[in-house]
Structure 1
Amino acid sequence: MGRLGQDQATRPGADERGGRCGRGADPDDAAAATAAARDLLARAGGVLFDFDGPICRLFPGDSSLPVADELRELVTRCGCANLLTGRLRTDKDPHLVLRAVRRAAGPRPTADPHLRGLLGKLEERVAAGEVAAARVAWPTPDADALIRSLAGRRLRLAVVTNNSPRAADAYLREHGLRGHFHTVHGRTPDPDLMKPHPDVVHRALTSLRLRPQDAVMIGDTSADVEAAGRAGVPFIGYGRNELKRARLREAGATVVLGAYASLLDVAGERGAHDAAVHFAGEAARR
């Protein structure tokens, strides 16, 4: 599989990549969203990050199309081309093909060895494509700074993604961020447990030993909104352009940001507050 991402799409401009202010954004709405997000983070014990979008752009443009095409070719070679109906024949999202084969397997996918084997092969191909894409993924502006700031506050961080956990792990290691995350949770062999199912959120909460109300999830899709809601986790939406922000609001997200820059000092303020409290306590004991 060739290099994905950089070789398959033209790098976007600052506005498309989630620049510091979106064109047409209402400053009052942006200020209110920033204040709400800062309040959620100030009270949180941990943050759950979706991967593709909030941390990086794994498949910018149509760069996931070669992976989806590989899956369609494999499905066809296995004699299951009839499963590829409608948009499944052309869509760039390989996860749609995974879900279609899983649905065809019925409630007990292990009962059909042919489909079970096909699902395993598809998962291998998708994971390989995602790991390759992670090597050239575009960092989300200010995501690395936000991650380091939150980790500096000693918040427990986790990744909750529909992508392969190997891809997320590879990206975080490449960018020197893996040490800030307590755990990385991603897609399991059962595509039915992908978001909007809350399974990955529940797994992260268990790993971090957090109650839902003590965490915050940052995501960029309606599936993220639903998964967080079903798990009872407060949610911050990140949309790099107005269309994505509108879709998040339509899905029910009430706190939606177009950039992380306005959040970068929230960790410093909390850290300074904690240090002041610690100093006052030490002085009182003297």
Structure 2
Amino acid sequence: MTRRPLPSDRPCDPRTPREIVTAAECVLFDFDGPIAGLFSHHRAHEVARVLLRRIAGWGLAPALSDPDDPIQIIRDTAIALAGSSAHHRIAELEELLCAQEIRAARSAVPTDHAYELVEWLMKRGTKLAVSTNNSAAAVNTYLERTGLAPFFGPHVHGRLADPTLMKPDPACLTAGLRSTGAAAVDSLMIGDSESDVAAARAAGVAFLGYARNDAKDRRLRQAGAQHVVRSFDRLIGDGG
């Protein structure tokens, strides 16, 4: 299959989101948002409370940028403990968060048209991977539950043991490129956060934003996303 070159990240890029997707030889999906609403039922702020109780039990009070965001809590705690001998604390917190994410994955709500988009891309021969700040175990739990696991196979790249390597660090994106054998210049990331925009830029891959509402759309564009879609249905198929 002959593919068009992926567009560069230019303010006046004339290509449409569909053209960007069809040009990609590899698509790296963020998980929470583009594929599913991970904390749709087991809410993020509830998970955050679990983590904060554990941290308080250690007698710690790290500065937190968002006490309702479990991902941000583990990142901020890791930064606060950097250089100390408390690596076991971070490992314990990671294990706790992973268990909570797996619980959430069992009731996560599929993103509209995400299954159809993934299936369509696979039929086109596009390489697929997940590059996420969530745990790979939680992602795989969801993929198995919803029948998406065969589309991604072993190409699920989640949070590493060092939380400071989460996006906006490009580590999980470069892992996805390595595992699929894809070149960054031929690849695209679909994400829904400012950290996704930054990670894609750092990894050298094109970016397509997914926004559920006006506020998310605005934040993605302010972070530098040139292309943002509200639904995946217009990306699927060969029509205009």
TM-score, structure 1 normalization: 0.75
Q: Distance in 2 between matches of 1:233 and 1:87?
A: 28
Which structure shows the higher helix fraction?
1
Aligned to 1:201: 173
2:146 to 175, 178, 186: 175
Classify 1:62/1:172 alpha carbon distance in 2 versus 1 (closer, same or farther; 3 Å). Answer: closer
Larger radius of gyration: 1
Q: 2:46 aligns to what?
A: 66
- Deviation (angstroms), 1:232: 0.6
Moved more, 174-183 or 155-164: 174-183
Identify which of 216, 224, 227 aligns with 1:252.
Answer: 224
For the aligned residue pairs, the C-alpha RMSD in angstroms reads 1.9
Counterpart Cα distance in 2 of 1:35 and 1:138: 31
Partner of 2:3: none
Whether the aligned pair in 2 keeps the contact of 1:34 and 1:263 (CA below 8 Å) is no
The equivalent of 2:33 in structure 1 is 53
Aligned to 1:152: 123
- Equivalent of 1:97, from 33, 58, 73? 73
Contact 1:46–1:216 (CA<8 Å) still a contact in 2? yes
Q: In the TM superposition, what is the alpha-carbon distance from 1:259 to its structure 2 partner?
A: 0.4
Partner of 2:178: helix, strand, or coil? Answer: helix
1:128 corresponds to which of 99, 120, 124: 99
Secondary structure in structure 1 of the residue aligned to 2:190: strand
Under a length normalisation based on structure 2, what TM-score does the superposition of the two structures give? 0.89
Conserved 8 A contact 2:42-2:107: no
Unaligned runs of 5+ in 1: 1-31, 270-286
Q: Which runs of 4+ in 1 moved over 2 A?
A: 32-35, 85-88
Name the structure 1 match of 2:198.
226
Residue by residue over 1:263-284, the C-alpha shift from the partner in whole angstroms, topping out at 9 and shown as x without a partner, is 1114xx6xxxxxxxxxxxxxxx
Shift of residue 76 of structure 1? 1.1
Deviations 1:108-154 (A, max 9, x none): 45xx0xx2121111101110111111111111000000000000111
Cα distance in structure 1, aligned partners of 2:233 and 2:13:
13
SS in 2 for 1:76: helix
Aligned positions, number: 227
Query: For 1:150-208, what per-residue CA distance to the aligned partner results, in whole angstroms no more than 9, with x for missing partners?
Result: 00111110000000001111111111011011410000111100000001111100111
The answer to whether the 8 Å contact 2:41/2:107 transfers is: no
